[in-house]
Amino acid sequence: MRKILSLTLSALVGVSAFAGGYRVAIQGQRQLAMGHTGVAVINSAEVTFFNPAGMVYLDKKFNLSVGANALFSKTRFQNSQYNWEASTDNFGTPFSIYATYQLTDWLTAGLAVYSPYGSSVEWDKGWEGAHLVNNIDLKAIFVQPSLAVKLSDQFSLGGGLIYATGGVEFNRNLQYPGGVLQNSNVTLDASGISAWGYNIGMMVTPTEKVRLGLNYRSKIVMEARDGDASYSDVPDYAASLLQDTKFDADLPLPAELTTGLSVQITDKWLVAFDYNYTMWSAYKALDISFANGSSSSNPRNYKNSSTYRVGTQYEANNKFTFRAGWYFDESPVQDGYFAPETPRNDSMGFTGGLTYQVTDKLGIDASFLYLHFDEIDNSYNHSTDPLTQLPNPNFGGTYKSSVFSPGIGITYGF
Q: Is the pLDDT of residue 106 over 90?
A: yes
Average pLDDT, the chain: 88
Q: What pLDDT, on a 0 to 100 scale, did the predictor assign at position 41?
A: 98
Give CA angle at 196 (193, 200), nearest 5°: 145
Q: Domain total for the chain?
A: 1
Q: What pLDDT, on a 0 to 100 scale, did the predictor assign at position 180?
A: 87
> In which domain, by residue range, is 338 found?
2-413
> In angstroms, what CA-CA distances link 300 with 11, 193, 202, 346, 385?
14, 21, 33, 17, 18
Q: What pLDDT, on a 0 to 100 scale, did the predictor assign at position 101?
A: 98
Q: What does the alpha-carbon distance between residue 116 and residue 64 come to, in Å, rounded to a whole number? A: 19
Confidence class for position 7, pLDDT limits 50, 70, 90: very low
Q: Is the pLDDT of residue 8 over 80?
A: no
Q: Which one of 47-61, 182-196, 248-262 scores highest in mean pLDDT? A: 47-61
The CATH number of the domain where 358 resides is what?
Answer: 2.40.160.60
**If we measure between CA atoms, which residue out of 40, 48, 254, 46 comes closest to residue 159?**
48
pTM above 0.85, yes or no: yes
Q: What pLDDT, on a 0 to 100 scale, did the predictor assign at position 400?
A: 92
Instruction: Tell me the pLDDT tens digit for each residue of 219-247.
Output: 998 888 888 888 889 898 888 878 888 88
> What's the whole-number mean pLDDT along residues 32-36?
97
Q: What does the alpha-carbon distance between residue 316 and residue 190 come to, in Å, rounded to a whole number? A: 49
Selected residue with higher pLDDT from 330 and 386: 330
Instruction: Tell me the pLDDT tens digit for each residue of 162-179.
Output: 999 988 888 888 888 888
Ramachandran angles phi, psi of 293, nearest 5°: 100, -10
Instruction: Tell me the pLDDT tens digit for each residue of 48-95.
Output: 999 999 999 999 999 999 999 999 988 899 999 999 999 988 888 899
> In angstroms, what CA-CA distances link 338 with 15, 75, 211, 253?
14, 14, 39, 18
Q: What pLDDT, on a 0 to 100 scale, did the predictor assign at position 17?
A: 37
